[in-house]
């Protein structure tokens, strides 16, 4: 199995291991009306800490959960007991929805020893594996050093330039109906449609029915069938930079070497009246 994902069997056999840090990175669309903290209190994997995607962001930005500063990330990780030399395992309640964002953030901040729990809490519960409730155990603080990798992230200007020149493919992880502009966006003030020239690769097309990731070969075929050449640079995007990370994880598993994530994603692009928008296929 790839270093980027671990199985539920593997994680259960490593519960309590001193060099493992388990993070519940559950996050839901505003329209879902779900509270990840309340759900964590009701049931979480033993020893897990809460990785709050919204709080662990640049809270001065008008855009949702943009990357925080390295200083803020380091400070929060120390408090969670995540440090240099710890292997981070991220999971979420949906199966695989927001855990990949946590994985990508650690990669961006220079911590490569991070993996996603394949199938997430949904699979864990379905298999009757151990859970605990109540608040997270108090962790022992650890030293964490964040070193940013700017090559892993793109801004709006860079995405627009890549689309204009054709120097990179843009893969949009939103559903086909949102991509085509047939469904309202979940955030007010954001237009419907997609970036002209973008390719639609719904994040769910990378997953098996049980929420686990498809094989690297099958993932590569999903991208190819969407018109994306994995030998060419790829920029991943979605609604707000969450499920784009699932595409980034998929690209990594499929062996693609040159890819980055558009952090502002459609919330920024569709919310900018000067940005060109396309609808339909």
- Give the residue numbers annotated as catalytic, written as ranges: 238
How, if at all, do strands 234-237 and 259-262 pair?
A: parallel
- Contacting residues for 85 by C-beta, under 8 A, at least 6 apart: 19, 113
In DSSP terms, 169 is beta-bridged to: 234
- Give the side-chain half-sphere CA count within 13 A for 241: 26
Give the dihedral of Cα atoms 195, 96, 149, 52; nearest 10 deg. Answer: 100
- Contacting residues for 145 by C-beta, under 8 A, at least 6 apart: 74, 84, 110
Structure token digits, residue 86: 């710890």
Per-residue buried b or exposed e for 174-201, using 16+ beta carbons within 10 Å of the residue's own CB: bbeebbbbeeebebeebebbbbeebbbb
Cα separation, 230 vs 273, in Å, equals: 31
Cβ burial, residue 41 (10 Å; 0-12/13-18/19+): middle
């Amino acid at each position: 199995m790839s270093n980027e994902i671990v199985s539920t069997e593997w994680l259960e056999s490593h519960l309590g291991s001193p060099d493992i840090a388990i993070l519940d990175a559950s996050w839901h669309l505003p329209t879902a009306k779900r509270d990840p903290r309340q759900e964590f209190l009701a049931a979480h994997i033993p020893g897990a800490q809460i990785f709050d995607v919204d709080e662990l962001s640049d809270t001065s930005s008008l855009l949702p959960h943009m990357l925080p500063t390295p200083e803020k990330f380091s400070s929060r990780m120390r408090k969670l007991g995540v440090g240099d030399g710890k292997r981070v395992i991220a999971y979420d309640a949906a199966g695989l929805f927001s855990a990949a964002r946590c994985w990508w953030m650690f990669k961006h901040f220079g911590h490569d020893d991070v993996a996603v729990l394949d199938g997430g809490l949904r699979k864990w519960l379905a298999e009757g594996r151990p859970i605990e409730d109540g608040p997270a155990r108090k962790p022992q603080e650890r030293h964490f050093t964040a070193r940013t990798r700017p090559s892993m992230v793109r801004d709006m200007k860079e995405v627009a330039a890549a689309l204009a020149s054709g120097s990179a493919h843009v893969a949009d992880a939103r559903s086909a109906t949102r991509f085509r502009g047939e469904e309202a966006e979940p955030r007010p003030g954001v237009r419907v449609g997609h970036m002209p020239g973008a390719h639609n690769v719904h994040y769910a097309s990378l997953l098996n029915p049980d929420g686990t990731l498809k094989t690297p070969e099958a993932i590569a075929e999903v991208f190819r069938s969407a018109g994306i050449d994995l030998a060419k640079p790829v920029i991943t995007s979605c609604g707000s930079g969450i499920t784009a990370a699932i595409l980034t994880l998929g690209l990594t598993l499929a062996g693609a070497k040159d890819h980055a994530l558009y952090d502002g994603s459609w919330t920024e692009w569709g919310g900018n009246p000067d940005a060109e928008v396309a609808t339909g296929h």
